[in-house]
Amino acid sequence: MEFIKVDVFADTGEVVERPMTDEEISEIMRLRQEDEAKKAELKTKIEKRAELLNRLGITEEEARLFLS
């Protein structure tokens, strides 16, 4: 699979398409992995919060009122 980078030069309107370098592809893959890890961490936090609220028998809105 080939990754293509599109550069658009606003001052001239020129559009240049070129294959991405190995470094650019590596950076994109690294950022994707970080993003997936952050999503998984956030999902875990949301699930834990929902579980706690469920055990307490209160809604998120009630918890906010209680903590404010």
Q: What is the pLDDT of residues 37-65, one digit of tens each?
A: 999 999 999 999 999 999 999 999 999 99
Q: Cα(13)–Cα(19) distance, rounded to whole angstroms?
A: 20
| 8 Å CB contact between 21 and 3 | no
| 8 Å CB contact between 17 and 9 | no
| Residue 50 identity | A
Q: Does pTM top 0.75 for this prediction?
A: no
| 8 Å CB contact between 18 and 4 | yes
At residue 19, the 3 state secondary structure works out as: strand
Pairing of strands 14-19, 4-9: antiparallel
Q: What is the pLDDT of residues 12-30, one digit of tens each?
A: 999 999 999 999 999 999 9
Q: In the chain, where are the structural domains located?
A: 4-67
